[in-house]
C-alpha cells in the first residue's frame, strides 16, 4: 500500500526541541498567542522550609500536543512596605518534582534525577508580570508542579515581633497554553509513503508508539523521477556509489531526543534505528542538505515498529498486593501450583530475566518506590576446564548486573552497563556480594510500566590476569532475593531525626519528612546544619538561667511586702525556665516536666500577669478595686493567651490597660491632694 502526501508543508518551529526557556510578557511572544487550555485558581504561596510548604499544580496535556507553554504570574499583597519575594516553580510530567532548593544532597540510594523524566524550573519575582516556561514535544498526560517562595537561609533572617512588621502575602496564578499538532501527517507502521522535499526544507511527521513496542526503525530511500536530469548534482538516478548523499533527521518525543546525519548507501537507502518511548506520540523532522542542487527530491519512507522480543528475556509474572495506607503496595512472584509464593528468583546466564510491573497514575506517585535485589547467601563454585587449553578456570565469582527502566526494557551488559534502546547507561545495581541487599529508592515515581532486568555472569577470581577479561560461563545459575514495594517517605520513616507525614495540596496527597534537631534532607539524614553539642548546651543554659534575673524582682517585692507580686514573679521565673528547658536543646539537653504546649501557655500567661500586676502596684488603688481588676485581668489574659500568645496586641493590651489604670489613679490622687503623685 502506497500513500502520497503533499510535496510542500509549511513548517513553523516555535522553540528549540527538547529545551525550555524563560521569557517575560513581551509583545513579540504574546503575538504567538498559543491557545489557552486551562487556568488554575490563585494559590497562596508559602516560604519553603520543607516539602510540606509547596503548592501543588496539576495540568493535563492532550495527546496531540506539540508545544506547551506554562504561564506564571505572582503578586505580593499587603502594605506598601512589602517587598517582592522571588517565586520558584518546578514542573514535571507524570509525578511530583523531586527537589532540593536548599542544596542538600539526595541520599546515595536515590535513583539519579538525570535517569528520570526531567523537571523544568523557573524563578521569577512576584511583580505581577507573566513569565513563561515552554517546551516542544512534551510528555503528554499529567503534569505536576510545585510552587513556593524561594528558599533563603533561615539563619540570615531578621527576628521580628509578630505584629510589628508588615503583613505580606504572595499569590500566584498559572495557566496552560498549548499548540496542538493535528495537521502533521501520521505515519502508520509497515506502509510505504512516497514523499517529496525541497533541499533545506524540513518535513514534519508524527507517529504513535504503542505500549507493546520495544524498538523502531525508519527506512529512507531515494527513487528515480520521471526526469533523471532533475536528480543532477548531488543525486543520481541510478548509482550513488560516488556521492556523499546524506539525510538530516530528528526524532523527538517524551524523554526522547535523537538526531543525526544518515549517509545513504550505493542504492540510495538508509535505515535509522530509534529508541522510542512506549504509549506516546513522537515527532520527526526530515530534511536534505541545503547544498543539494536538485530543486525537488522524491523519496520513500517506511516506519517499522517491533514488539517486545520475549525470547530475549525470561519474564516471570508478578502479582500486586495493595494495602490500606496511602502509597503502600508490593509485587511478588506469581504463586506456584500449591499456592505458595516463591521466595527466590533464579537467574540463568542463558538469558537475562525481566520483571515488569505498573505504577498507577495519581494514586501511586506520592510515596517512594523501592527496588531491592541481593544474592542468596549460598553461592556454589562452578568449575569449567577450557577445551584446547592447559589453563583451568575456577568460576567462584558471581556478578549480577541490574537495570531499571520506565516504559523501556533495558538490556544488561557484562561491562556494568545497560542499553536503553540505543543509549548506553551505567547499571543501576551491581550485585557481587552476599551480605547486603542493594536498594534503589525512587521518590514520587512516574506512572507507567517499570522494568527490572537482571543478567548473571560467572567468572574467575584473581587467578585471571588483570589485563584479561574475566572468563564467562556458558551456563550458570544463581538464586537472588528481590523486593519491589512502595511506602510513604522512605520505608515509612525518616531516619532517627524526622517523622513521615501526609499532606494534601490542590486535591493531591503526598508524603514527606519533617525533620528536627537541625537535620535536613529528603530523609532527614543531612547533618551539615546541626549545631554542635557544646553549642546546644550553651544555648540551653543561657535561655534557662537568664530567668534567674527575676530573683531581683522577687526580692524587691518581698522587701516591699508585695507578696502577690512576688508570687507571680516567682511563677514567671519558674515557668519560663521550664519552658525554655523543654523547647531548646534539640532533645539532647531538653527537659520537659509536662507537655510543651502547657509550659508555653504558663510562660506567656505569667508574663502578661507580671506586666499587669506591676502596673497595678504602681497605681496604688484601694484593695477592693485591686482585687476586682486582678480577677478581670486574669480571665481576659487567659483568653487572649489561648487566642494568640505570640501576637503583639496581647502584650499591648496588658501594658496599655495597666498604664491607663496608673494614669487614672495618679490623676485622682493629684486632684484630691492638689499635688503630684507620687511625691517621690
Strand order in the sheet with 213-222: 2-4, 192-197, 297-307, 213-222, 269-274
Q: Hey, is 551 helix, strand or coil?
A: helix
Q: Which residue has the higher pLDDT, 283 or 637?
A: 637
Is residue 554 within 8 A of residue 595, CB to CB? The reply is: no
The Cα 671–Cα 678 span in angstroms is 12
- Residue 111 C-alpha cell reads as 535513583
Whole-number pLDDT of residue 327: 94
Q: Is the pLDDT of residue 170 over 90?
A: yes
Q: What are the φ/ψ torsions at residue 547 (nearest 5 degrees)?
A: -70, -10
Whole-number pLDDT of residue 390: 34
Region of poorest pLDDT, from 150-159, 395-404, 486-495? 150-159
Whole-number pLDDT of residue 88: 96
Q: Please report where in the chains the cell 538490556 appears, as a residue.
A: 411
Q: Estimate the crossing angle of helix 596-619 against helix 648-673, to 10 degrees.
A: 20
From residue 513, alpha-carbon distances to 52, 342, 614 in Å are 8, 34, 46
Q: Which residue has the higher pLDDT, 222 or 540?
A: 540
Whole-number pLDDT of residue 471: 54
Q: State which H helix or E strand residue 478 sits in.
A: strand 477-487
Whole-number pLDDT of residue 213: 76
Average pLDDT over residues 267-296: 75
Q: Please report where in the chains the cell 525550555 appears, as a residue.
A: 20
- pLDDT tens per residue, range 501-517: 999 999 999 999 998 87
- Residue 29 C-alpha cell reads as 511572544
Whole-number pLDDT of residue 237: 34
Whole-number pLDDT of residue 396: 61
Average pLDDT over residues 412-416: 88
Average pLDDT over residues 619-646: 86
Q: Hey, is 449 helix, strand or coil?
A: strand
Q: Is the pLDDT of residue 595 over 90?
A: no
- Residue 332 C-alpha cell reads as 511478588
The Cα 79–Cα 255 span in angstroms is 45
Q: State which H helix or E strand residue 509 sits in.
A: strand 508-515
Average pLDDT over residues 57-83: 87
Whole-number pLDDT of residue 526: 85
Whole-number pLDDT of residue 376: 79
When pLDDT is cut at 50, 70 and 90, the band that residue 310 belongs to is low
CA dihedral angle for residue 584, residue 588, residue 594, residue 599, rounded to 10 degrees? 0
When pLDDT is cut at 50, 70 and 90, the band that residue 525 belongs to is confident
When pLDDT is cut at 50, 70 and 90, the band that residue 325 belongs to is very high
| DSSP assignment letter at 573 | H
The Cα 431–Cα 227 span in angstroms is 63
Region of poorest pLDDT, from 256-260, 302-306, 581-585? 256-260
When pLDDT is cut at 50, 70 and 90, the band that residue 245 belongs to is low
Report CA Rg, the chain: 36
Average pLDDT, the chain: 79
Whole-number pLDDT of residue 304: 84
The Cα 640–Cα 604 span in angstroms is 10
Whole-number pLDDT of residue 287: 81
- Residue 532 C-alpha cell reads as 554542635
For the ranges 378-387, 423-432, 443-452, the one whose mean pLDDT is highest: 443-452
Whole-number pLDDT of residue 308: 60
When pLDDT is cut at 50, 70 and 90, the band that residue 149 belongs to is very high
Whole-number pLDDT of residue 679: 64
Whole-number pLDDT of residue 1: 38
When pLDDT is cut at 50, 70 and 90, the band that residue 527 belongs to is confident
Q: Hey, is 501 helix, strand or coil?
A: strand
* β strands within 150-245, DSSP E: 169-180, 192-197, 203-209, 213-222
- pLDDT tens per residue, range 71-128: 999 999 877 778 888 999 999 999 999 999 988 889 889 999 988 988 999 999 999 9
When pLDDT is cut at 50, 70 and 90, the band that residue 185 belongs to is confident
* Residue of 623, 632, 624 whose CA lies nearest to 658: 632
- CA angle 632–638–642, rounded 5-degree value: 150
For the ranges 56-60, 250-254, 338-342, the one whose mean pLDDT is highest: 56-60
Amino acid at each position: 500500500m502506497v500513500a502520497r502526501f503533499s510535496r510542500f508543508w509549511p513548517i513553523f518551529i516555535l522553540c528549540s526541541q527538547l529545551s525550555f526557556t524563560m521569557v517575560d510578557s513581551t509583545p513579540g511572544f504574546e503575538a504567538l498567542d498559543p491557545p489557552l487550555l486551562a487556568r488554575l485558581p490563585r494559590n497562596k504561596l508559602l516560604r519553603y522550609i520543607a516539602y510540606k510548604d509547596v503548592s501543588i499544580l496539576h495540568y493535563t496535556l492532550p495527546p496531540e500536543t506539540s508545544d506547551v507553554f506554562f504561564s506564571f504570574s505572582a503578586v505580593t499583597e499587603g502594605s506598601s512596605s512589602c517587598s517582592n519575594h522571588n517565586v520558584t516553580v518546578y514542573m514535571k510530567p507524570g509525578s511530583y518534582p523531586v527537589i532540593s532548593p536548599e542544596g542538600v544532597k539526595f541520599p546515595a540510594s536515590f535513583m539519579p534525577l538525570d535517569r528520570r523524566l526531567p523537571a523544568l524550573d523557573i524563578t521569577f519575582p512576584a511583580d505581577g508580570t507573566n513569565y513563561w516556561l515552554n517546551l516542544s514535544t512534551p510528555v503528554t498526560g499529567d503534569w505536576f508542579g510545585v510552587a513556593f517562595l524561594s528558599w533563603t537561609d533561615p539563619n540570615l533572617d531578621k527576628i521580628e515581633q509578630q505584629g510589628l512588621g508588615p503583613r505580606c502575602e504572595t499569590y500566584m496564578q498559572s495557566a496552560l497554553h498549548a499548540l496542538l499538532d493535528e495537521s502533521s501527517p501520521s505515519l502508520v507502521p509497515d506502509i510505504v509513503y512516497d514523499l517529496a522535499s525541497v533541499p533545506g526544507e524540513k518535513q514534519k511527521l508524527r507517529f504513535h508508539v504503542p505500549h507493546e513496542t520495544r524498538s523502531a526503525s525508519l527506512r529512507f530511500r531515494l527513487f528515480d523521477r520521471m526526469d533523471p536530469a532533475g536528480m543532477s548534482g548531488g543525486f543520481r538516478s541510478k548509482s550513488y556509489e560516488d556521492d556523499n548523499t546524506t539525510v538530516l533527521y530528528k526524532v523527538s518525543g517524551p524523554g526522547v531526543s535523537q538526531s543525526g546525519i544518515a549517509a545513504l548507501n550505493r542504492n540510495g537507502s538508509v535505515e535509522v534505528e530509534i529508541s522510542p518511548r512506549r504509549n506516546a506520540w513522537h515527532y520527526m523532522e526530515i530534511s536534505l542538505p541545503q547544498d543539494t542542487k536538485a530543486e525537488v527530491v522524491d523519496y520513500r519512507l517506511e516506519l517499522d515498529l517491533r514488539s517486545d522480543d520475549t525470547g530475549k528475556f525470561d519474564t516471570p509474572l508478578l502479582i500486586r498486593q495493595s494495602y490500606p495506607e496511602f502509597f503502600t503496595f508490593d509485587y511478588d512472584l506469581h504463586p506456584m501450583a500449591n499456592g505458595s509464593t516463591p521466595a527466590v528468583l533464579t537467574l540463568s546466564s542463558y538469558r537475562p530475566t525481566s520483571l515488569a510491573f505498573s505504577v498507577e497514575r495519581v494514586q501511586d506517585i506520592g510515596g517512594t518506590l523501592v527496588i531491592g535485589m541481593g544474592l542468596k547467601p549460598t553461592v556454589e563454585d562452578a568449575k569449567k576446564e577450557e577445551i584446547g587449553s592447559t589453563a583451568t578456570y575456577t568460576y567462584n565469582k558471581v556478578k549480577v548486573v541490574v537495570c531499571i527502566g520506565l516504559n523501556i526494557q533495558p538490556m544488561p551488559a557484562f561491562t556494568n552497563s545497560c542499553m536503553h534502546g540505543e543509549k548506553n547507561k551505567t547499571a543501576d545495581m551491581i550485585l557481587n556480594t552476599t551480605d547486603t541487599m542493594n536498594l534503589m529508592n525512587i521518590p514520587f515515581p512516574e506512572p507507567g510500566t517499570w522494568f527490572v532486568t537482571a543478567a548473571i555472569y560467572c567468572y574467575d577470581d584473581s587467578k585471571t590476569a588483570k589485563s584479561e577479561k574475566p572468563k564467562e560461563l556458558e551456563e550458570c545459575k544463581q538464586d537472588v532475593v528481590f523486593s519491589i514495594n512502595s511506602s510513604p517517605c522512605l520505608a515509612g520513616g525518616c531516619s532517627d531525626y524526622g517523622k513521615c507525614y501526609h499532606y494534601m495540596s490542590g486535591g493531591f496527597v503526598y508524603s514527606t519528612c519533617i525533620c528536627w534537631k537541625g537535620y535536613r534532607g529528603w530523609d532527614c539524614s543531612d547533618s551539615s546544619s546541626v549545631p554542635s553539642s557544646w553549642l546546644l548546651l550553651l544555648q540551653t543554659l543561657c535561655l534557662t538561667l537568664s530567668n534567674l534575673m527575676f530573683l531581683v524582682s522577687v526580692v524587691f517585692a518581698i522587701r516591699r511586702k508585695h507578696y502577690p507580686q512576688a508570687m507571680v514573679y516567682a511563677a514567671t521565673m519558674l515557668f519560663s525556665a521550664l519552658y525554655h528547658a523543654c523547647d531548646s536543646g534539640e532533645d539532647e539537653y531538653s527537659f520537659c516536666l509536662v507537655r510543651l504546649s502547657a509550659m508555653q501557655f504558663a510562660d506567656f500567661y505569667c508574663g502578661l500577669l507580671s506586666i499587669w500586676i506591676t502596673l497595678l502596684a504602681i497605681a496604688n488603688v484601694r484593695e477592693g478595686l485591686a482585687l476586682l481588676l486582678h480577677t478581670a485581668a486574669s480571665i481576659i489574659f487567659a483568653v487572649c493567651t489561648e487566642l494568640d500568645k505570640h501576637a503583639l496586641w496581647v502584650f499591648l493590651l496588658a501594658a496599655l490597660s495597666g498604664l491607663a489604670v496608673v494614669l487614672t489613679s495618679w490623676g485622682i490622687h493629684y486632684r484630691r491632694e492638689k499635688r503630684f503623685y507620687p511625691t517621690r
